[in-house]
Each structure stands twice: as C-alpha cells, then as structure tokens.
C-alpha cells in the first residue's frame, strides 16, 4: 500500500509498486508454505494473465521464476459471482461463508493468504483474518482505492514485526489484538 493507504491508483494502476529481487524473494518465502490462495475475481484474473507462464520469459528473475511455480501449484479459491471458469488449480466459490472458512482454517497445512482488497474487506468484516501484512511503499498517491474502506468499525491490532527492505518498502505485520 502507499504511505497514504491506497492499494492501487485511481485507475487501478499498480506501476508504483517497488518490488525488487529482495522483496520478491521475501514474498516467495512467505507464500510458498501457504496452503491456499483465497482470491477475489479481479486479483485472480490479474495473476492468471501473468504468472502461469512467467518462468518461460528469459528475462524473468530467479524469484519471478520461483513464484510462477508457487502460483501454478498452489490451490486457489476464487470468490466471484460472475466468473464462469478458473484454471490453474482454482475452484470458484460464489459467496464468502464464514463457517466454511473456519472449517478450512482447522485443516492441516499452512496458513492461507487473501488476495484482493475487496475480498480482504469482506474477510475483515467477518473477523476471518488473523494476521495483516502491510507492505508500505515509499510513495504518496494522493488518490486511489484505499486498502481499508472508510466507515468500517475500528480494527484493533497488535504490532508483531517490522522490517525495512533495501528498496524503501517497510513491512508492518500485525495480529488481531
């Protein structure tokens, strides 16, 4: 997210994200042991446009090639009322059902990761997110789509970790208070 709290610019642009090899490797290290990606439709479609064959690009970095494999192999649940078909080890779910997610959380395997701000807002509203990893980019956008929608009730968190990356990105890892 930007310093001023946006996850994307006003026209859905993401070109301001600073993801170098160090940060990308960190993402791989965090995501590889996960059990499932829980994606909204928009996030899934963006990922599916690039990652299935990203490791075939001769200019791809080692972390990019590694993530392409992680993304392809990781089971995915895509939450969408409109998507008719999803490839790459993905299942479509039409609604977020908290009881189903609680059962999924009880199964053996790694943690689950939520992709997409709208889906994350829904999960937050239902109290389904145990940990927030905010990667603060060294940029102020001034406008865009906020990571946390306005008018939501306060979300009380506990700071568990901070980390500064060489490119100026700062990780703030929070648990629920």
- Encode pLDDT of 67-106 as tens digits: 999 999 999 999 999 999 999 999 999 999 999 998 998 8
Sign of CA dihedral 151, 10, 46, 5: negative
Domain ranges (residues) in the chain:
6-176
Q: What is the pLDDT of residue 158?
A: 97
Q: What are phi and psi of 69, to 5 degrees?
A: -65, -45
- Full-model pTM: 0.90
> Is 90 exceeded by the pLDDT of residue 116?
no
Looking at residue 91, its pLDDT comes to 93
pLDDT digits (tens, 9 = 90+) for 46-72: 999 999 999 999 999 999 999 999 999
Sign of CA dihedral 149, 154, 159, 160: negative
The architecture in CATH of the region 6-176 reads 3-Layer(aba) Sandwich (3.40)
Using CA atoms, how far apart are residues 146 and 157, in angstroms rounded to an integer?
A: 18
Q: How far apart are CA 85 and CA 11, in angstroms?
A: 26
Q: How far is CA 163 from CA 34, 48, 59, 136, 160, in A?
A: 20, 29, 28, 10, 11
């Amino acid at each position: 997210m930007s310093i001023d709290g946006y996850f994307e610019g006003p026209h859905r642009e993401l070109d301001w994200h600073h993801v170098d090899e160090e940060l990308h490797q960190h993402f791989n290290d965090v995501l590889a042991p996960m059990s499932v990606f829980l994606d909204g439709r928009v996030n899934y479609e963006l990922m599916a446009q690039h990652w299935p064959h990203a490791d075939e690009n001769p200019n791809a970095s080692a972390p990019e090639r590694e993530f392409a494999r992680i993304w392809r192999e990781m089971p995915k649940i895509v939450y969408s009322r409109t998507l008719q078909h999803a490839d790459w080890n993905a299942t479509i779910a039409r609604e977020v059902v908290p009881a189903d997610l609680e059962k999924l959380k009880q199964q053996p395997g790694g943690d689950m990761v939520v992709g997409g701000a709208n889906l994350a807002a829904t999960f937050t509203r239902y109290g389904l997110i145990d940990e927030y990893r905010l990667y603060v980019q060294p940029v102020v956008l001034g406008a865009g789509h906020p990571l946390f929608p306005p008018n939501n009730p306060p979300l009380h968190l506990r700071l568990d970790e901070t980390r500064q990356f060489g490119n100026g990105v700062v990780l703030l890892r929070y648990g629920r208070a």
